[in-house]
Structure formats: structure tokens, C-alpha cells
């Protein structure tokens, strides 16, 4: 790779790390030629740590490595865009990113989970979500059942807009049910990941 490491102090090029699936920017590190070569040869993103004054493979202490997917060079040949798959939180604080943003393949769904949580705790009688929680588990479970039946009915018809609308209604009420039971989508994802594991 034709990187001009001489453009930067200490021969280090900025390496912007982006999740290959969500496209969320995860962190910024610095690479020298050694770090780049190590990244390419091992498939795990490696930086030059200025504080340690040595090569540092992300996750060597925490186990939360960055599995390399691709590397691109910018138009000036002095900055790297590293696309990777994170195996856990990227920031040393335990956050998904170094900007404390959530990084989830579903994108909007964790945000929607947060909205449901906030409205559940709002006490606002005008809030549909708060009303569901006030009426209790039987009503929440009933709504999931109703939405599931409506989705099945629309699946047998040929009206895409109605099908998508019912699918969205079911997913929304499913998230409400998960919250009512004390779970999140991540809990369900973990179950699926275990089932998928070889």
C-alpha cells in the first residue's frame, strides 16, 4: 500500500476505524509501516501506541479485537480508512465507540428501545406506550398476539404497504413486550448467536 508516512510527525498515519457492517466510526488510531504490515498479515487491526511506544493490537488485553475487513487510502495517500468487525466494545471505557455512540447492526432499533424505556417511565397518560405498561402484561401480550395475527393475514394478501405496516406494528409491540419482561434485543441476539455458533 502506497502510504506516505513521512507526512506526519513520528511517521504515523491516522487510521480511522469504521464498522464494516453498520458503517459507524469506532475509533481513531495511528499506524506506522510496522503496524500496517502487522494488520495485513494477521487480519487483526494493530496500531502504533504512542503511550506504550510499541505496536499494540486492539483487544490484546480486553479480548475485544478488531477483525480486518478492508483498508482504503485517502486521496492524499496519508490517511487510512480501516473497515473492521468489532468483537466487543471498542473504547477502553466499555462503550461501543470512542464517542460513546451505540454500534448495533439494527441501527434504529436500539434507539426505539430507548424511546420505549423513556415513555414507560414517563408517567404520561397521553403516551400510548405508557398506557400499555399501565394496563399490564396481559394487555401487552394480547397486543403482540393481535399484531401477529394481522401480519399473517396481510402475508396472504398482495398489498405490500399493509404487510409492511403490520410487520412494523408487530416489531414495535414485540419490543414493548421485551422491555416489559426486562429484556432487550441484544439478549435475543445473543441467543441467536449461540444457536448459530458451530
The grid coordinates listed for 140 are 401487552
Of residues 190 and 72, more confidently modeled? 72
- Measured in whole angstroms, how far is the alpha carbon of residue 5 from the centre of its chain? 31
Looking at domain 5-86, its CATH superfamily turns out to be Phosphoribosyl-AMP cyclohydrolase (3.10.20.810)
pLDDT at 108 over 80: no
Q: Using alpha carbons, select from 13, 35, 17, 14 the residue that is nearest to residue 26.
A: 17
Distance CA 112, CA 57 (A): 34
Model confidence band, residue 67 (pLDDT cutoffs 50, 70, 90): very high
Residues 113, 179 contacting (CB under 8 angstroms): yes
Numbered ranges of CATH 1.10.287.1080 in the chain: 108-196
In the predicted model, what is the mean pLDDT of residues 22-40? 95
Angle between the 108-120 and 128-135 helix axes, to the nearest 10 degrees?
60
CATH architecture of 108-196: Orthogonal Bundle (1.10)
pLDDT at 122 over 90: no
pLDDT at 8 over 90: no
Residues 175, 113 contacting (CB under 8 angstroms): yes
**pLDDT, tens digit (0-9, with 9 covering 90-100), for 142-155:** 999 999 999 999 99
Numbered ranges of CATH 3.10.20.810 in the chain: 5-86
Amino acid at each position: 500500500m502506497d502510504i506516505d508516512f513521512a507526512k506526519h510527525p513520528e511517521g504515523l498515519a491516522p487510521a480511522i476505524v469504521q464498522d464494516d457492517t453498520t458503517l459507524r466510526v469506532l475509533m481513531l488510531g495511528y499506524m506506522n509501516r510496522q503496524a500496517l504490515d502487522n494488520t495485513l498479515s494477521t487480519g487483526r487491526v494493530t496500531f502504533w501506541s504512542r503511550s506504550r511506544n510499541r505496536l499494540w493490537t486492539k483487544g490484546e488485553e480486553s479480548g475485544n479485537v478488531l477483525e480486518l475487513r478492508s483498508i482504503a487510502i485517502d486521496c492524499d495517500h496519508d490517511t487510512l480508512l480501516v473497515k473492521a468487525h468489532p468483537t466487543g466494545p471498542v473504547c477502553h471505557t466499555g462503550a461501543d465507540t470512542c464517542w460513546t455512540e451505540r454500534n448495533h447492526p439494527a441501527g434504529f432499533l436500539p434507539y426505539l428501545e430507548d424511546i420505549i424505556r423513556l415513555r414507560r417511565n414517563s408517567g404520561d397518560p397521553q403516551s400510548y406506550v405508557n398506557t400499555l405498561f399501565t394496563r399490564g402484561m396481559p394487555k401487552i401480550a394480547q397486543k403482540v398476539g393481535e399484531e401477529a395475527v394481522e401480519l399473517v393475514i396481510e402475508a396472504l394478501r398482495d398489498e405490500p404497504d399493509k404487510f409492511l405496516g403490520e410487520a412494523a406494528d408487530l416489531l414495535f409491540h414485540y419490543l414493548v413486550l421485551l422491555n416489559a419482561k426486562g429484556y432487550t434485543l441484544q439478549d435475543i441476539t445473543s441467543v441467536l448467536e449461540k444457536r448459530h455458533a458451530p
